[in-house]
């Protein structure tokens, strides 16, 4: 009976995921867009110190012991972003993708246009939804965070960041789109580099910001579907033609 119950529960979960995929594809008119269901991750209390884990290709996945007196303050080190406040890892740009995939099993999607389906939007803040997006020869990080910017008033912040330098980020434009019940909301901007830190982007308000009522307006049964499109910027295209 226990085995039957477990199998039946797994089947119900599979049916639920398929239904979520169907709803997201139905909301966005572009047929064939890849839909990724992203589960929430709770952020833990921020650790006051970080231990630098500068990995080489032969040392990936090895985290050295943390000693407060040996803290490295290298501006080129990128903190871990999954979840944003719990993992003490830091490393250079070339090993960020491998850390997120190997340590935190973050999904990476291919293609210029995808649908990001965040589940369980009702969970209390702080909560993060994170995926990696690979297209146009680069990797991007989409972060959706639920956070109380003002006490008792949670908001949702969504941004796309390039796993690269600020100069490289200037070559691209990303678009986030919400589309439901004959309503459409778009945010279009140049992605920021992960070197600039997600916290800074949220503090500056340079991202898609939704209050709770607006998020509920575009959500469906506790899930929020965000269409994502990345293109090269006009400046970059002009330079390529020259």
Q: Is residue 81 part of a domain?
A: yes
Helix spans in the chain (H): 2-27, 96-104, 166-169, 198-204, 212-218, 234-241
What pLDDT was estimated at residue 142? 92
Q: Is residue 152 part of a domain?
A: yes
Answer for the pair 161, 193: CB distance below 8 angstroms, yes or no: yes
Reading the block at residue 161, the tokens are: 């960041």
Tokens 């992605």, located at residue: 191
Q: Is residue 200 part of a domain?
A: yes
Q: Is residue 241 part of a domain?
A: no
What pLDDT was estimated at residue 223? 94
Q: Where are the beta strands (DSSP E) in the chain?
A: 34-38, 41-42, 78-79, 90-91, 108-110, 113-118, 127-135, 138-150, 153-162, 172-180, 183-189, 192-193, 208-211, 224-232
Q: Domain containing 218: what range?
A: 31-42+75-232
Q: Is residue 35 part of a domain?
A: yes
Q: Is residue 160 part of a domain?
A: yes
Beta bridge partners of 179: 184
Radius of gyration of the chain (CA): 19
Task: Report the number of distinct structural domains present in the chain.
Answer: 1
Local mean pLDDT, 10-residue blocks, the chain (242 residues): 55 49 45 72 51 37 40 66 76 89 86 89 90 92 89 92 94 95 94 89 92 93 93 61 41
CATH number at residue 183: 2.60.210.10
Q: Is residue 191 part of a domain?
A: yes
Q: Is 114 helix (H, G, I), strand (E, B) or coil?
A: strand
Half-sphere CA count of 143, side-chain side, radius 13 A? 32
Q: How many CB atoms lie within 10 A of CB 31?
A: 6
What pLDDT was estimated at residue 174? 96
What pLDDT was estimated at residue 7? 59
Answer for the pair 105, 79: CB distance below 8 angstroms, yes or no: no
Reading the block at residue 238, the tokens are: 């002009």
Return d(Cα 78, Cα 83) in angstroms, integer: 14
Tokens 């503090």, located at residue: 203
Tokens 């990303």, located at residue: 174
What pLDDT was estimated at residue 155? 94
Reading the block at residue 226, the tokens are: 């965000």
Q: Is residue 68 part of a domain?
A: no
């Amino acid at each position: 009976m226990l085995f039957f119950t477990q199998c039946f529960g797994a089947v119900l979960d599979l049916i639920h995921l398929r239904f979520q995929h169907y709803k997201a594809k139905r909301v966005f008119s572009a047929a064939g867009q890849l839909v990724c269901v992203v589960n929430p991750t709770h952020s833990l209390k921020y650790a006051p110190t970080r231990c630098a884990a500068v990995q080489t290709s032969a040392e990936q996945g090895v985290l050295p012991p943390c000693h407060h007196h040996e803290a490295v303050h290298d501006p080129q080190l990128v903190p871990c972003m999954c979840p944003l406040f719990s993992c003490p890892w830091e490393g250079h740009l070339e090993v960020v993708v491998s850390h997120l995939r190997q340590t935190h099993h973050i999904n990476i999607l291919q293609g210029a246009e995808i649908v990001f389906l965040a589940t369980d939007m009702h969970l209390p803040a702080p909560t993060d939804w994170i995926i990696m997006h690979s297209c146009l020869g680069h990797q991007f990080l989409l972060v959706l965070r639920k956070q109380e910017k003002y006490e008792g008033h949670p908001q949702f912040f969504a941004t796309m960041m390039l796993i690269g330098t600020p100069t490289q980020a200037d070559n691209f434009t990303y678009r986030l789109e919400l589309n439901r019940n004959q309503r459409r909301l778009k945010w279009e901007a140049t992605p920021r580099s992960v070197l600039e830190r997600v916290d800074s982007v949220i503090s500056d308000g340079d991202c898609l910001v939704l209050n709770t009522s607006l998020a509920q307006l575009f959500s469906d049964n506790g899930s929020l579907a965000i269409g994502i499109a990345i293109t090269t910027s006009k400046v970059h295209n002009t330079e390529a033609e020259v």
